[in-house]
Amino acid sequence: MGGQLTDRIAIDEALVRRLVRSQFPHWADLPIRRVAVDGWDNSTFHLGDTMKVRLPNAPGYAAQAAKELHWLPRLAPLLPVPIPSPVAIGEPGEGYPLHWSIYHWIDGETALAGPIGDHVRFARDIGKFLLALQAIDATGGPPAGRDSFFRGGDLSVYDGETRQCLAELEGQIDVAAAAETWDAALAAEWRDPPVWVHGDIAPGNLLVRDGRLSAVLDFGCSAVGDPACDLVMAWTFFGGAGRAAFIEAVEADTGTWARARGWALWKALLLRVQYSNPQKQAAEERIISAVVEHHRRAR
């Protein structure tokens, strides 16, 4: 999830059908239906059996389509699993104000729904993907900033938001320990050359086939910069042997792990404050506790 924008656009199958018919009439007869599991930044629809249409849900996500169109074909040959392959980019029209895109469809279920055969192997496969991504020449790549929701950038941009969340959660979580973890993350400054960052390594963007990692989706938040933000699955998804395997596989130094804890803590605190559902609140509290415990052990 790139960010919590509120100026969201209403998007349905009828709108997508009008856009395709007017701008890509040779595909006008293909059936269109919304995907079973959708994301936050974009609304996604099947276009026939072999393509998908993605439309940004708010203006803050509008730059993602052009970025992916330019960079994904350059990254794809250098990565160990498939990534989205752009087909075309659409123009604003039919009452829809933003550019939108068409991609080849990649079969598979997301890691949210698809059975993972071996979490240790899955963790290692993600680590292998991240190391391959970071090894690609970052020259000229998109800098971290507002378009990437600062993924790959300086974590301090979320300092005020994080401290506000800590204040609101006083008495509900161990605020002192969380604040110490956050301060350590801010102190672990990134000083190395920039590398490629996916920006949203999360279960909904990881496809699974036959129990294995089969593709990585949604590079809308990609940038070149600090790779720490790509490591949050250590706490948001993995536990036990899977977490240990992921930590080993990504080969990150202690400073990068400190900043990764900061990225995970910021988002978990933010969601904990926003959620009213007790089960969702408890899930974010478990992430906060896991991050804080990892910090304690790293001291």
Report pLDDT digits (tens) over 244-263: 999 999 999 999 999 999 99
Q: Which residues of the chain have pLDDT under 70?
A: 1-6
User: C-alpha distances in angstroms, 185 versus 18, 34, 144, 267?
Assistant: 47, 39, 18, 14
Say what the pLDDT of residue 5 is. 47
**Tokens 């988002």 — which residue?**
267
Query: How many angstroms from the chain centroid is the CA of residue 41?
Result: 10
Architecture field, domain 13-106: 2-Layer Sandwich (3.30)
Say what the pLDDT of residue 6 is. 54
pLDDT, tens only, 273-293: 999 999 999 999 999 999 999
φ and ψ of 173, to 5 deg: -135, 175
**Tokens 């890691």 — which residue?**
111
3-state secondary structure of 164: helix
Task: Identify the H or E element spanning 21.
Answer: helix 13-23
Fold (topology level) of 110-298? Aminoglycoside 3'-phosphotransferase; Chain: A, domain 2 (3.90.1200)
CB 224 within 8 A of CB 138: yes
* CATH 3.30.200.20 in the chain, residue ranges: 13-106
Q: How far is residue 36's CA from residue 44's CA, in Å, rounded to a whole number? A: 9
Say what the pLDDT of residue 40 is. 78
φ and ψ of 220, to 5 deg: -60, -30
* CATH 3.90.1200.10 in the chain, residue ranges: 110-298
pTM: 0.92
CB 165 within 8 A of CB 280: no
